[in-house]
Chain A
Amino acid sequence: MNARTLPYLLILPVTLFLCVFFIYPFVLVAQLAFTQGDGFTLANFREVVGYWKFPISLKNTLLLAAIVVPIQLALSLAMATMVSKMEKGRDLVLYVWTIPLGISDLAAGIIWLAIFEQSGFLNSMMSGMGLIDKPISLLTYEHPWVIFIAIALAEIWRATAIMLVILVAGMGLIPKEYYEAAEVFGASPWKRFLKITLPMLRPSLQTALVLRVILAFEVFAVVIALGGSLFPVLMAETYAYQFDLLNSGAAAAIALIILAISIGFTLIILRLLRVPKGATI
């Protein structure tokens, strides 16, 4: 086998798979979004952007990502540091922490719904402790911020592990010598974290953040379970256009808008966390 062609041959199956199941459908979706009847049009985009709920769902989606992702970043960094310092039982802890990853997001939403419902665990606990006389409904249109907190909590609980896994792998790649040298010079643990771990972790941070941010813009099932239509997000609008209104063009348009936002943020993250040329581990 020619050493030159071998790599191309090896990635051929994946490339074909992506072309058939990603690029081709993507082209179809783009076609749907830009046509109405016959011929090119922006009418679908005008329709979805002009709908009174669009600014609200855009704001909600961005706000949720802006709150959830930084918290998850901090949490997963802390958890990854703890795990990598562990001598015994490291695998067990990692498995336990990644259990939420194995649960579908709808199931995660339902778990948190069971907590926050009027007859849910939180209410029973509070009335058991004598804090309230009778169960109160928490997830109502009257307290939108409770719905927001519930969704944020469910998202943090569910998807922190995906960042954790990537960061743990990244930390394992950092050579011990740097830490030993820093210790010789008397650097505090906090300083070692700031000056060694964080900079050396850049490639993993990049991957973790890109993945997590894209997922954050696609948030759907958790929101539906906890907030229903009280907390509109972009993905729920897509679903409504496709299945309630049977308007595939508008659904495709809003999907492309989500894609554009995701690409935009991916580029920003790649740029901010870029690894300078030649500075590899």
Chain B
Amino acid sequence: MNLQNVLLGATAAVALTTGAAQAEVLFWSTQAKPIEETQAMRDQVLSGFDAGADYQANDSGPFLTRLNAELQAGDGTIGVLGDLHGGFAAMDAANLADLSGLDLGGVTVNPTFLELGKLGTDQQHYLPWMQASYIMAANKKALEFLPEGADIDALTYDQLIAWSAAVEEATGDKKFGFPAGPDGLKHRFFQGYLYPSYTDGVVRTFKSDAAVGAWEAFRALWSHTNTGSTNFSFMQEQLLSEDVWIAFDHTSRLAGAFNERPDDFVAFPAPAGPTGRGFMPVVAGLAIPVTAPDMAEAEALVAYMMKPETQIATLRATNFFPVVDVALPDDLPPSVRAAGDAIAKMSGAADANPGLLPAGLGDKGGDFNRVYVDSFERIILGGQDIRAVLDDQAKVLDAIMQETGAVCWAPDAPSEGACPVE
């Protein structure tokens, strides 16, 4: 074979492979990243989509790099995007096609989440895909140390601190675990749990006296927290290794523990503070970039993902709950039953005080999170004065709110213009 033939053959081979790849819709996502979940998405969820879908899960950095490159080039290969609400909120809404005309075949979608998907415009820039929340989990060995009179389904932060202290006293180890690692979701705890529970706000009350009280309480809890927590990102690992007996984390980051040893762990609602039981619902969405190579196929895939049976399959694959009206079957994995139960108790509690995901921050979402993470690092790890740190970080927070002009979200009282730091 001469060189020319080899080259011709190679070109033909390349053309064939790219041709085959183009027939499938590229589903570009930041969700279901652990390899087992990615595989489950491909085998159990997307295998029923006739045209075929190529599910690719990424970290948000590479996710955005490729998406932005395609948007800038005005020519893309990505068909459907899957990301958290915060990720879409950080994008330019004009790059996400309007999905309001999409025929979902009579499926009823959660109206609160649908509204979130409009990203503050009158177009449906993304459709809600699945939801989750953050809950508490404990090893059953820890239950005997619960403070007298405490109901595990209606704990207060004071009781949680007393409980963790009692466990430490009995075992000699700090057994409360908190996902404060580099990839841990600690900022959501402060934004959706600690602040709503103690200050009934997130932005307005950032440096209030109540916030000082919140951080004092968290400091007390931290004194009984496993000191390795700054390396913990998925609390299921430490629950299974029993380095930790009581933990707070995202439902999908606790699922492994419940699925592996369902009889050893209990899931329960987050604790309540003086201003209620703060908790944060998490929602992921589906969008189509304006550069999608085949709009009709991409829309078909989105509609497929919204079908009740696909939503159930997604729940099994990722431990994220459906966002459409559907009855849950009885044979769900233990993690789903445990988490579903805890979320239901949490959102149905009389003192429930939901703290929504930050909205309207555009590409400043990361900066917003950093305000809370920095406060944590300085107050808790650095041992700095709470009042001084909050006053200092409040300036950064105020600058972010002024720059983005984001209005207040629950549980902060509504604002006219940019949400003020009071």
Chain A residues packing against B (C-beta within 8 Å):
52-53, 118-119, 137, 139-142, 224, 228-230, 242-247
Contacts and interface: CB of A to CB of B under 8 A. Distances in A.
Given A228-B181, A228-B182, A246 B363 contact: yes
Contacts of A224: 182
Interface in B370-394: 370, 374, 377-378, 381, 392
Nearest to A135: B243
Contacts of A243: 59-61
B384 to A, nearest CB: 10
B17 to A, nearest CB: 26
Contact of B227 (A53, A142, A229, A242): A142
Tell me what chain B mostly uses at the interface: helix, strand, loop, or mixed: helix
B48 interface: no
B366 A230 contact: no
A140 B180 CA distance: 11
Tell me what chain A mostly uses at the interface: helix, strand, loop, or mixed: loop
A215 B181 CA distance: 26
Contacts of A118: 228, 243
Contacts of A52: 374, 378, 392
Nearest to B62: A243
Contacts of A119: 241, 243
Interface in B339-377: 363, 366-367, 369-370, 374, 377
A137 B61 contact: no
A245 B228 contact: no
Given A118-B228, A137-B226, A230 B370 contact: no
Contacts of B366: 244-247
B133 to A, nearest CB: 23
Nearest to B183: A228
A52 B381 CA distance: 14
B191 to A, nearest CB: 15
A53 B61 CA distance: 22
Nearest to B226: A137
Nearest to B243: A118
A247 B392 CA distance: 22
B64 interface: yes
Best-surrounded residue of B90, B227, B241 (most CB of chain A within 10 A):
B227
B60 to A, nearest CB: 7
Contact of B231 (A228, A244, A245, A247): A228
A52 B228 CA distance: 24
A198 B330 CA distance: 77
Contacts of B59: 243
Best-surrounded residue of B226, B366, B374 (most CB of chain A within 10 A):
B366
B182 A141 contact: no
Contacts of B230: 140-141, 228-230
Contacts of B374: 52-53
A124 B73 CA distance: 54
5 contacts: A52-B392, A140-B227, A229-B377, A245-B370, A246-B366
Given A53-B374, A244-B369, A247-B363, 9 more contacts: A118-B228, A137-B227, A139-B228, A140-B227, A141-B381, A228-B231, A229-B377, A245-B366, A247-B367
Contact of A229 (B182, B226, B369): B182
Nearest to A53: B374
A242 B243 CA distance: 34
Interface in B39-66: 59-61, 64
Given A224-B182, A228-B181, A246 B64 contact: yes
A65 B182 CA distance: 23
A34 to B, nearest CB: 20
A232 to B, nearest CB: 9
Nearest to A244: B366
Contacts of B241: 119
A242 B363 CA distance: 12
Nearest to A232: B377
B87 to A, nearest CB: 10
B188 to A, nearest CB: 14
B73 to A, nearest CB: 16
Nearest 9 A-B pairs (CB), nearest first? Answer: A243-B61, A245-B366, A140-B227, A137-B228, A228-B182, A141-B381, A244-B366, A246-B363, A229-B182
B64 A230 contact: no
Nearest to B382: A141
A237 B182 CA distance: 13
Contacts of A229: 182, 230, 377
Best-surrounded residue of B61, B228, B374 (most CB of chain A within 10 A):
B228
Contact of A141 (B64, B227, B243, B392): B227
Contacts of B227: 137, 140-142
